[in-house]
Amino acid sequence: MKMKKLFLLIPVIGSIAACTSEKGPVPVKDTDNCDSTISYSADIAPIMTDYCISCHTAGGSGTGDFTTYTELKQKADNGSLKNRVVDLKDMPQAGSPTISEDQRKMINCWIKQGAPNN
């Protein structure tokens, strides 16, 4: 009886192990040295959607419409995006949900990489 239970358990343990090894380690973006390529569509646009476009839309209070790439790219190129998000850290504006240090670093790396529409 005991043996039977043990044999039943082995495939279960085996499949759990297989599952975790298949998944592998979650790739972490290197935002300290900017070695990882940051993607506008996968990394930056979601931050804009969640934390910026409540104000930064056409007709919104924020300067610049960040719902699409074009105007965000302009702010990346003229230095204001880095200035406000990475250096001064006064965006998102006080009183609204803020972003993490990692997210600030990610935006910084994207700018350093030329703020591509990737």
- Contacts with ligand HEC, 14-53, as mask; x by CB under 6 A: ---------------------------------x---xx-
57 lines the binding site for ligand HEC (CB under 6 A): no
Nearer Cβ to ligand HEC, position 2 or 92?
92
Q: Quote the tokens at residue 30.
A: 């290197």
Assess contact for 36 and 30: CB atoms under 8 A: yes
**Burial level of 39, CB count in 10 A (0-12/13-18/19+)?**
middle
CA atoms within 13 Å, Cβ hemisphere of 30: 6
- Smallest distance from ligand HEC to CB 61, Å: 4
Interface with ligand HEC by CB under 6 A: which residues?
Answer: 47, 51-52, 54-56, 61-64, 75, 80-81, 84-85, 91-93, 96, 99
